């Protein structure tokens, strides 16, 4: 079955041979770790807001207990007890998420430190980073606001080709998705697939393209993209996530 992506194919580029497969693998690892950490941080923040809202509601209900008759007090007390249980469960879940986020952050810093040691050790490492390396460093450390304009500039540069261009497009897609600019993330992830069909970045790109379609309420495109991901990368962890998403559609 032919996989249709709503994006016009502008050109096809030859993969650059400048980077080794190991270097590309390391870059993808850092990118994925950064995305996972940011998603966990957002989940913790959302859960914290939910807990605060429930606590406000609990306080409001508790203040009304003395104003009601016996039957109403019993009913209201049941609601209060249920809210207390929900708050306790959410607090326990949030504590676990916070611990996980801290572990992810610590591990990411360890990986970045290891990669820095592997790539440094010479006078060249002290030189000012070029635009590409600066953008990737900013992205890897979660400085998406700083990375975005550099990535946009790199994408417009005709000298950004092959694996580097694929990474630039992927990262722009991720930033757009996290900023909830779904129309832009749709374009970036579609371009990643059409221009760099064999790139390993499509494991993540197709998954988030499907999530983008889902956010835009395009159910059939979501299913099609998830099936394409499973077909092309059956052993990838993203394929497992894709199967779980399909079961819920």
For residue 6, the surrounding DSSP H or E stretch is none
Using CA atoms, how far apart are residues 186 and 3, in angstroms rounded to an integer? 15
Using CA atoms, how far apart are residues 219 and 203, in angstroms rounded to an integer? 20
Contact present, 7 and 190 (Cβ < 8 Å): yes
Rg (CA), the chain: 23
Please identify which residue in the block is written with the tokens 């996530």. 241
Task: Report the pLDDT value the prediction gives residue 118, as an integer from 0 to 100.
Answer: 63
- Burial class for 6, CB neighbours closer than 10 Å (0-12, 13-18, 19+): exposed
Residue 14 has pLDDT above 90, yes or no: no
Question: Could you report the per-residue pLDDT of 142-161, keeping only the tens digit for each?
Answer: 899 999 999 999 999 999 99
Is the pTM for the entire model greater than 0.75?
Answer: no
Angle between helix 202-215 and helix 21-64 axes, rounded to 10 deg? 30
Name which residue leads in pLDDT, 121 or 233.
233
Confidence band, pLDDT 50/70/90 cuts, at residue 18 = low
What is the pLDDT of the chain when averaged over all its residues? Answer: 80
Q: DSSP letters along 69-90, please?
A: -HHHHHHHHHHHHHHHHHHHHH
Task: Report the pLDDT value the prediction gives residue 102, as an integer from 0 to 100.
Answer: 75
Q: How far, in whole angstroms, is CA 240 from its chain's centroid?
A: 16
Task: Report the pLDDT value the prediction gives residue 122, as an integer from 0 to 100.
Answer: 45
Structural domains of the chain, with CATH: 19-116 (1.10.287.1490), 129-249 (1.25.40.10)
Residue 5 has pLDDT above 60, yes or no: no
Contact present, 195 and 217 (Cβ < 8 Å): no
Contact present, 160 and 154 (Cβ < 8 Å): yes
Question: Could you report the per-residue pLDDT of 27-69, keeping only the tens digit for each?
Answer: 777 777 777 777 777 777 777 777 777 777 766 666 665 565 6
Task: Report the pLDDT value the prediction gives residue 172, as an integer from 0 to 100.
Answer: 97
**Mean pLDDT in residue range 236-249:** 93
Residue 78: how many CB atoms within 10 A of its CB? 10
Question: Could you report the per-residue pLDDT of 77-112, keeping only the tens digit for each?
Answer: 777 777 778 888 878 877 777 777 777 777 777 767
Using CA atoms, how far apart are residues 97 and 101, in angstroms rounded to an integer? 6
Percent of the chain residues past pLDDT 70, beyond the cut: 78
Residue 125 has pLDDT above 90, yes or no: no
Task: Report the pLDDT value the prediction gives residue 15, as an integer from 0 to 100.
Answer: 38
Q: DSSP letters along 187-214, please?
A: HHHHHHHHH-TT-TTHHHHHHHHHHHHH
Using CA atoms, how far apart are residues 140 and 112, in angstroms rounded to an integer? 8
Upper half-sphere CA count for residue 245 (Cβ side, 13 Å): 27
- The phi, psi pair for 128, rounded to 5°, reads -60, 135
């Amino acid at each position: 079955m032919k996989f249709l992506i709503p994006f016009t194919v502008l050109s096809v580029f030859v993969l650059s041979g400048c980077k080794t497969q190991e270097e590309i693998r390391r870059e993808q690892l850092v990118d994925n770790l950064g995305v996972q950490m940011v998603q966990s941080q957002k989940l913790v923040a959302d859960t914290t807001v939910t807990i605060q809202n429930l606590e406000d509601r609990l306080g409001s209900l508790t203040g009304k207990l003395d104003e009601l008759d016996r039957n109403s007090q019993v009913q209201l007390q049941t609601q209060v007890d249920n809210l207390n249980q929900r708050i306790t469960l959410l607090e326990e879940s949030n504590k676990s998420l916070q611990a996980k986020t801290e572990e992810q952050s610590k591990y990411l810093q360890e990986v970045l430190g290891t990669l820095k040691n592997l790539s440094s050790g010479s006078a060249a490492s002290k030189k000012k980073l070029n635009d590409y390396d600066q953008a990737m460093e900013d992205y890897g450390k979660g400085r998406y606001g700083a990375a975005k304009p550099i990535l946009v500039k790199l994408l417009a540069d005709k000298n950004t080709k092959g694996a580097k261009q694929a990474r630039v497009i992927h990262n722009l897609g991720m930033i757009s998705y996290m900023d909830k600019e779904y129309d832009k993330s749709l374009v970036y992830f579609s371009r990643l697939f059409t221009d760099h069909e064999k790139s390993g970045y499509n494991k993540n790109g197709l998954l988030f393209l499907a999530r983008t379609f889902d956010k835009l309420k395009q159910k059939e495109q979501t299913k099609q993209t998830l099936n394409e991901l499973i077909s092309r990368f059956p052993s990838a962890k993203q394929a497992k996530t894709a199967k779980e998403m399909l079961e819920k559609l």
